[in-house]
Structure 1
């Protein structure tokens, strides 16, 4: 990754004297901001890592704000572009309720939570380009929202918001690499959640409460020790029992899918073991997967 750093605005010997003068006149801040904004157009970035994508996206956003006449926002995003180009950490912008109209903060807060979740688990294992677009379009959404003081002008925030939604949705194609898998086990011919299974589910429920953008997929498996006709139904009932237990622990049932629930007469797992210990096959497999299809 190669980056071009901001060049001095006054590349001649009298630069220090000029700076002292504009400081006395109270003009330095504006002039230096203009320098940063101007120089961001010459920023050269190569590479396909997250920071490279981030630098290019912030560079484009800074240019857009400059064309729109907002020097402060252009400078803000230009500085983020330079920081990303130098591989420095660049955090998303904060949703400040003192600046953003109260009618706009709920959607932004939800989006911030989804973005933070994506950033924490998807960097380097998924679509870094989409992740960078999501962060920068979120910052654009925040910035645009801060300038909207009435409901009618909210429409001006829609392009940034929609770009954020699209980027988050595209990340859902990479979630298999971030999925977490576990299982709970049952006694023969039983759908009762035993103590060991309950401990596993309680830990899972706690984790899910802190990960509101994750969903669960359950699939039941039976052994061959019971009646063959009862086994498919038993595997389904066990999966449903797990879903019900998680719902009682505070997890929205809409976040939990039971595989083949509409085909309860279908055996959900293969079991070729006719003899020996069948306990490994008396289980419900659980796959927890992040879902970034933001719809707020």
Structure 2
């Protein structure tokens, strides 16, 4: 193969032509282009500094146009420097606004924190005040309850004391009345005996003395409404058993009738006739037989209960 050798002058001309067809650039222009690309890639720049970024774009286009038109390097660097300055201004303004926004957000956060703290403190203070008020109300109610209970307790004590005094007075009066009636305490309770002399001989009619004694018994019953009596008639063994039984029953009935006439309710007076049964003494002398001719009145206990034979 035959080699072709070009003249040196022609080769030089071709190289210069090739170089003149490539876009002209400088190191400052390349650096400015990279900074412009970075600014374009940052969405915050176009948002926060749109006017400055627009001005930087115009300046960047002027520098690129100068390079494309193969202007001299000095002009290209001057336009690139101007574009670089505008790009830096847009970026700096973006940083400033971002810092301001961050500071505003931080201030808003601090304000919100302070507000939340004050709200929390106010709520806590209100809660404590409500609790204190509730505790005070509870204390007041407790004091009222305690005072009412103390008053009720004092009233109960006074009532019980009054009742005890009343019972004591009634018992004292009863003892005095029973002593006047010559009552005796036995296994069956308190017994008042109306002897034979308080009735007519072999009769069931009470004598004036018998009526006076019966009136005293009526007074006892009227003063002690809870009590009842069991009236029991007895005779000696003189005469027939039938006669003695009838006489004992009639004498017990006579006492009941007298008590009813004196204001004692009939259902508070029970009667029994035992005739010549249950003698108080042997029927061997006139004196002993007189002891057996009697009416025994059994006074009930405080509940109205009597113990029959």
Q: TM bucket by the smaller chain?
A: 0.3 to 0.5
TM-score (norm 1): 0.41
1 or 2, which has the higher helix percentage?
2
Larger Rg computed on CA atoms = 2
TM-score (norm 2): 0.39
